[in-house]
Structure 1
């Protein structure tokens, strides 16, 4: 029976390693989707500057969101996505339309996919304007 238990343990260990590798593809796929979204909405100004949206929404399906939350890594994924997108833009020579923000959230209506990515231009709020509004 000891040999059978050792076999089960080895099989279980390999299964967990395979599952971890598959689930770690998620952030890689998200990075690629963010890059495509950024590239797709790049606009060249008359001066030759290439402007891209600065606000990105990543909506995750329920199971994917739960997995990230259970691992306690949702904020790490958000930061990793932001960092990767910033490096991509720097390599391409893109300029942001304002401060870069990547928001990761849950969507209840994603039935046939694991995530959805969208971008918009979020206007920059200057420190002076913020001071006037908050007084």
Structure 2
């Protein structure tokens, strides 16, 4: 079973069928999960002897409507998505400079069905010294849903 399938099963366990009904036509957590994996993959940087580093901080910016629907489960979603990104990073054999964290933020400029993923490398206190921020760190990935509310990478 893939990382995304396990993520979707965990979501079902967290909030049940009502959760799926709430997100009809809006951003769905599974779309965010795919965008987070894609962001980690696109932002990887190879250092020296093949060591691959990826961002460890991800902020998912959502429009007011989507943020309102997701905020009820924000703690659970953030933790589950961070775990999913961690599993993806481990499966690929990549590293980070610290614990992976995912947070949700409201962005009043985004319409319903559109979200952005921002990522960066953030060395935690006590972790290995961070080199200069890798090229592309802090990049924004825009994701917009076509008609019907499905999101896709731009």
TM, length-normalised to structure 2 = 0.63
Instruction: Give, in whole Å, the separation in 2 of the partners of 1:18 and 1:82.
Output: 20
How far is the alpha carbon of 1:74 from its aligned partner?
A: 1.5
TM, length-normalised to structure 1 = 0.71
Instruction: Give, in whole Å, the separation in 2 of the partners of 1:114 and 1:78.
Output: 18
- Find the counterpart in structure 2 of residue 103 from structure 1: 103
- Find the counterpart in structure 2 of residue 66 from structure 1: 68
Superposition RMSD in Å: 2.5
- Find the counterpart in structure 2 of residue 92 from structure 1: 92
For residues 66-99 of structure 1, the C-alpha deviation after alignment (integer angstroms, 9 at most, x for no partner) is 1123xx2111111111111011111111101222
Instruction: Give, in whole Å, the separation in 1 of the partners of 2:41 and 2:50.
Output: 16
- Find the counterpart in structure 1 of residue 77 from structure 2: 77
How far is the alpha carbon of 1:17 from its aligned partner?
A: 9.3
In terms of fraction of residues, the more helix-rich structure is 1
Instruction: Give, in whole Å, the separation in 1 of the partners of 2:36 and 2:20.
Output: 25
On the 8 A contact 2:78/2:101 being kept in 1, the answer is no
Q: Structure 2: which 5+ residue stretches go unaligned?
A: 1-17, 128-154
- Report the CA distance shift for 1:120/1:95 in structure 2 as closer, same or farther (over 3 A): same
How far is the alpha carbon of 1:18 from its aligned partner?
A: 7.4
Q: Structure 1: which 5+ residue stretches go unaligned?
A: 1-15, 128-135
Runs of at least 4 residues off by over 6 Å: none
Aligned residues: 110
Instruction: Give, in whole Å, the separation in 2 of the partners of 1:73 and 1:32.
Output: 18
**1:53 maps to 2:41:** no
Instruction: Give, in whole Å, the separation in 2 of the partners of 1:97 and 1:17.
Output: 34
Whose RCO is larger (CA < 8 A, sep 6+)? 1
Instruction: Give, in whole Å, the separation in 1 of the partners of 2:26 and 2:65.
Output: 14
Q: Which has the larger radius of gyration?
A: 1
**Which secondary structure does the structure 2 equivalent of 1:109 belong to?**
coil
